[in-house]
Amino acid sequence: MVEEFKVNRSSRQCFAQQRPLREGEWYYSVVIANDKGYQRRDYSAEAWETPPEGSVGFWKCQMPLNGERKMVLAPREVLIDLLRQMESDPDRAKLRFLLALMVLRRRYVRVIDSPGTDVSADTEGLKFMHLEVIDDGTTIEVLECRIGKQESESLSEALVELLYCEASEMEDA
């Protein structure tokens, strides 16, 4: 079962240097498990060494530039449709898995138990996540994929390119 936890937005402050992060500056965000739950900390690239002890995960970000156009995520219907369309493209299985995790986190879908179908008989050894679309109750099956460190950055970039557009483009549509 997928565990859910709440993480705050960027503090816009370097935790180690106790200073504001500058416009356009690269920084690292890390989620740390502690006795109070989960805490997010942001570190400037120059202060970053390795993830601190107790880290659950980390990622690299860039502070926005002043006047930079705001990027918005595609509407939920588009995300769900894309998740369904990508089923027929095995070359994009890892990208589809990341998209599934994203819509799961946004609560557009939920994981459902599918007794006896955790491992498909025709693709022995492969595990699938069974999702129910909150809006209409339909189900989607997504192959669970392992994603290595080297490919995670390129997959993340591909996902952002695929799912985000400038806010002005959305207003024109």
CA distance 4 to 17: 30
Q: What share of the chain is helix, strand, coil (3-state, %, to 5)?
A: 30, 30, 40
> Between 76-85 and 93-105, two packed helices, what is the crossing angle to 10 degrees?
150
The pLDDT value given to residue 56:
81
At a CB cut-off of 8 Å and minimum separation 6, what does 146 contact?
Answer: none
pLDDT along the chain (173 residues), means of 10: 61 94 92 80 93 85 78 83 89 91 92 61 72 94 88 83 62 42
pTM above 0.85, yes or no: no
The pLDDT value given to residue 170:
43
The pLDDT value given to residue 122:
45
- 3-class secondary structure, 91: helix
